[in-house]
Amino acid sequence: MDDLTPPRTYETPPTTRPIDEAEAAREAGLAHNEHIKIASGFLRGTLADGLLKHATGAISEDDGQLVKFHGMYLQDDRDLRPERTKKKLDKAYSFMIRLRIAGGVVTPKQWLVLDNIATTYANGTLRATTRQTFQYHGVIKSNLKRTMAAIDGALLDTIAACGDVNRNVMASTNPAQSGAHKAAYELGKEISDSLLPKTNAWREIWLDGEKVIGGEPEFEPVYGRTYLPRKFKIVIAVPPSNEVDVFAHDLGFIAILDKKNKVTGWNVTVGGGMGMTHGEPDTFPRTADVMLFCKPDEAVRVAEAVMTVQRDWGNRKNRKNARLKYTIERYGLAAFRAEVEKRVGTKLADPKPFAFTGNGDRFGWTEGDDGRHHLTLYVPSGRIKDVEGDGPRLLTGLRRIAEIHEGDFRLTGNQNVIIANVPGEKRVEIEALVDEYGMQKGAGALRRNSIACVALPTCGLALAESERYLPDLMTELEESLASHGLQDDEITIRMTGCPNGCARPFIAEIGFVGRGPERYHLYLGAAFDGSRLGKLYAEDVTASEIRTILDPLFGAYAQGKTPGERFGDFLIRAGYVARTFNGPDFHTNIGALKGVA
């Protein structure tokens, strides 16, 4: 900011707790979801009765909002819509179920149960998500309680995996820094447990648990009756790897390490978020601010304080303006930090220096500083399945490994799987199974740095293809890169079917966001380490135009880059696209700044 920039004027924060009475909520004009939560009886609604209505595979619209808090979304197969409509049939309804697995760590025994659920109740695949957990697709209503019982039998659950709550907490999976990773995982698990909703509704509805009758009334000590204004996402990062994309989330903790890789404390980031709405410039993605530093014994209290300030200050009238990123834009980082420190009960230190080198995964074998071995496998778009013909048989292969593995499995924020904590004497046996089932210990440079959301046919928000299309597009782009001698250059590429940004496309060096069938907005110029947003370079690009647009930029990069310069940085330095500094200027100075010679 230069001296000519006028000082920012912020609003005065509220001083009261959120409205949780029905009549007052109506008078205040709160969003419809607030009324649903108030009337839900702590997330029960009419879900139990709706499960008994066998005439339809759906549930009521209001219950469709509540069921998200239980970890699932009502969906239908959009590929089948035209034919079913023609025959005057109900939509092919089913549910997507997402698990809560803090840090993405599961045991081999749990893996086998999850595999069995996939083949018994879901569509025969496990999907590793960009939030470091699993989700199932295609679970029909009559199988919901059986599926939940099986998940519970593995000592796992789906509570708060979706909805206006703190969702699955992500933590760095870097296996080389075993001590720091352990600290990150333990913090993530402690935060996840601490901020879990206390309602008994999940066990009561899905497991026929005992209902709360008489005695003390049920209450949520942290969330209250109306929970949060919108979703809330927390991640734990361990430099130099930013594979959890700490700047893309509401709240982040960045490990500050000493010379022996021991965690001395955490830098705290706030206000990141990816979602926006096409055509509405007052919605935008935002990278998080590095707000303060806290000691290890202060971190959980800081997490709760940040979340409760958002609970009280977040916009409950307009859900499109309800995430923490907009709260900080509205009230300012200084006021937000002061309130966090007030709730923690102490003045906290300023951030410490740190550095990230990238936000991708380490593929192949690595050895941790504790002597254990770890193998990261490439999983295209996170879809764990058996590919017919000569393709990888990930589902069967990982099942075989789970039957003999003595360590654990870890999911990454980039949708890949780590076979972790392998004893040295078991490495050869694991390696043989990986080879037998054609599992990939890596991929080309572009694919190694790719993410795609599910999109069509199941996601109701998708405007365009993503998971099903990105592999073919990357084949085209790999040919283009190779023609310029760039086949080994690491470039991040991400695609989503809509602007909600589940695959975090706005912080990819090449980002595609669906606009309609085979049409995408193309974003360029983000940072390789995930610290800077991209900028809209070309609007409504058709699938057939993508290579034609990117090829000359690849050529310019090959000719004009400096040693070690990343693609996104080059595009800004060479003047092809403007730099985005943060959310509010995301929609300014868009488009190609100059043609490619």
Active-site position among 37, 453, 515, 566 = 453
How would you classify the pairing of strands 493-496 and 510-516?
parallel
Backbone angle region of 66, left / alpha / beta, with phi > 0 → left and psi within -120 to 50 → alpha: alpha
Catalytic option among 294, 385, 494, 498: 498
CB 585: neighbour CB atoms within 10 A? 14
Long-range contacts from 58-62, C-beta under 8 angstroms, 24+ separation: 58/90, 58/91, 58/93, 58/141, 59/141, 62/36
CB 214 within 8 A of CB 200: no
Asked if 165 and 223 count as a contact pair (C-beta separation under 8 A), the reply is yes
Which letter does DSSP use for residue 390 in this model? T
Catalytic residue among 44, 68, 98, 316: 98
Q: Is 162 a catalytic residue?
A: no
Catalytic residue among 68, 100, 141, 167: 167
SS3 52: coil
Which residue among 37, 141, 233, 383 is the active-site one?
Answer: 233
Active site residue 498: yes
Three-state DSSP class for residue 266: strand
Instruction: Take residue 357 and report the two structure tokens written for it.
Output: 């080198």
State the Cα–Cα distance between residues 231 and 324, nearest whole angstrom: 9
User: Any binding-site annotation on 453?
Assistant: yes
**293 strand-pairing partners:** 267, 349
**Does 231 qualify as catalytic in the annotation?**
yes
Annotation marks residue 561 as catalytic: no
Sheet holding 263-270, edge to edge: 170-171, 234-237, 251-257, 263-270, 289-294
CA gap 34, 223 in Å, rounded: 13
- CB 407 within 8 Å of CB 418: no
Q: Catalytic residue among 316, 502, 504, 579, which? A: 502
498 is in an annotated binding site: yes
DSSP symbols for 180-242: HHHHHHHHHHHHHHHTS---SHHHHHHS-PPP--SSSPP--TTT-TT--SS-B-EEEEBTTB-
DSSP state of 11: P
**Strand, helix or coil at 107?**
coil
Specify the amino acid at residue 424.
G
Q: Is 453 a catalytic residue?
A: yes
Cα dihedral across residues 142, 145, 146, 147: positive or negative: positive
294 as an active site residue: the answer is no
Q: Is 162 annotated as a binding residue?
A: no
Q: Which of 231, 311, 515, 566 is catalytic?
A: 231
The stretches of 40-177 forming alpha helices (DSSP H) are: 47-50, 61-66, 81-86, 108-120, 144-153
CA-to-CA distance for 51 and 146, rounded, in angstroms?
12
Annotated binding site for [4Fe-4S] cluster: 453, 459, 498, 502
Active-site residue list: 98, 167, 231, 233, 453, 459, 498, 502
Annotated binding site: 453, 459, 498, 502
Annotated binding site for siroheme: 502
